[in-house]
Amino acid sequence: MKHRVCFVLIFGLLFSLSSCKFQKLLKSGSVDEKYESAVKLYNEKDYSRALQLFDQLAGAMRATDKSQKISYYYAYCYFNQKDYTLASYYFKRYTTNFPNTPEAEECAYMSAYCNFLNSPEYSLDQTITYEALKDLQLFVNTYPGSKRVSECNDIIDKLREKLELKDYRLTKLYYRMDDYAAAIVGLNNILKEYPDTPHKEEILFLVFKSYHKFAKESIEEKKKERYSKAITAYKEFVAQYPESQFLAEASTLKVQAQKELESKYNKDQLKISKESSKNTQ
């Protein structure tokens, strides 16, 4: 027990001395002393204290040959502390200030990668996801021969999957809320934006089903047009998935839609016939 107490006291004393020494360095150390200490602390993974020194050095050494290296360390200090918002900003600033350096490509990638790490769950606002996609695509276009291009494309696919999932869940919500017009627009947009979506079979089925329900709830003047669109959607669905798990339900609804169309056709023909008879009298 006594040894443990002694160890804690010694550790506390050493920490206090180290802290006092660091504060003295911050207040009165020379530029060179601060730079050497900052690099040492960085290598020791003491990013918080290293950042404090680099923060002071950024202005003091702006016109020196160490300015580039300070900016590089500065961005990585934020990255290693998992502050990806500021890390992305400072990586991007590095590429702007030092575009022709060997680290410019790395920092351009890291700026985009930080936005990827910051990308939230699909259910939340996806502004940062779109920012990450833009930066990743810019990186691929700027450095097409980079060894990081393959990784960028993999990340782009992951981000697009997240955006697709968000749209997919939202359009299904429209469907469950009986907002079939919005569901139809949303589902068709997913098919255009994400033609290889793994949900394509269900989406094509829901497009047909939404048209069918939309037609059923429409006023008489709109029913014929909307049932016709439902039949067209059914044909597209069956053409792509002739053995779909949804085929039985879809076939039943298609028969109902055809009966409605035949009924509307017979009513229209009867109306035309009556009007023709009146005109000939």
pTM of the entire predicted model = 0.79
Long-range interactions of 46-51: CB distance < 8 A, separation 24+: 47/76, 47/77, 47/80, 47/81, 48/77, 48/81, 49/22, 50/77, 51/77, 51/78, 51/81
Angle among Cα 84, 119, 193 to the nearest 5 degrees reads 145
- pLDDT by residue (tens digit) across 9-42? 444 433 444 567 777 777 767 788 889 999 999 9
Given this model, what pLDDT does residue 4 score? 57
Given this model, what pLDDT does residue 59 score? 77
Given this model, what pLDDT does residue 11 score? 42
Given this model, what pLDDT does residue 165 score? 96
Residue 200 and residue 191 in contact, taking contact as beta carbons nearer than 8 Å: yes
Q: What is the percent of the chain with per-residue pLDDT over 90, rounded to a whole number?
A: 73
Low-confidence spans in the chain with pLDDT less than 70: 1-19, 28, 63, 264-281
Given this model, what pLDDT does residue 32 score? 85
